[in-house]
Amino acid sequence: MKPAGRLRGAMIIACLLSACAMAATPTQPGPVKAGQWGGQHILMTVASASAEIEFDCGRATVPGSIEIDRDGRFSTTGTFLQERPGPTTPDGPAKRPMRLSGTVKDNDMQVSIVLTDSSEEIGTFALTFGASARLVKCK
């Protein structure tokens, strides 16, 4: 092969490797995008210093920002409050510790919520940035 042909081939390979490297980095590390994330049975409102989550029959709070790594993964803690239909006591149900973990890719998020005091799984949910929630509230 002539030197010009080798150079051209090397440039093509370098461009392909560069494109593959960019495609392998799906997300910039940092906080989850602030705003409303909605999905089936869940609404998450993310702010710079906290996140509020509403479920069909419960709600949760995450203090602080939710930080994602370069692969779009995150894991953080917060509190969960179960809601039930009908009257409640003045003190209401107790807040319980939870772990919120999942992934973010572009405007899509997958989350899993587990109560850490009992290892009870609340559920796994798919959310989209800017989407409305589809909640069926307890009555």
Q: What is the pLDDT along the chain (139 residues), one digit of tens a residue?
A: 565 555 565 555 554 444 444 444 456 899 999 999 999 999 999 999 999 999 999 999 999 999 999 999 999 999 999 987 766 666 777 899 999 999 999 999 999 999 999 999 999 999 999 999 999 988 6
Confidence (pLDDT) at 69: 96
DSSP 101-138: EEEEETTEEEEEEEETTTTEEEEEEEEEETPPPB----
What is the reported pTM? 0.76
Q: Which CATH number applies to 28-129: 1.10.150, 3.30.530, 2.40.128, 1.10.3470? A: 2.40.128
Confidence (pLDDT) at 85: 72
Q: What is the rounded CA–CA span in Å between residue 45 and residue 129?
A: 10
| Residue entry with tokens 């980095």 | 25
Q: How many Cβ atoms are within 10 Å of 35's Cβ, its own excluded? A: 12
Confidence (pLDDT) at 20: 44
In 3-state terms, what secondary structure has residue 55?
strand
Sorted by where each begins, the domain ranges of the chain are 28-129
58-63/42-46 β-pairing: unpaired
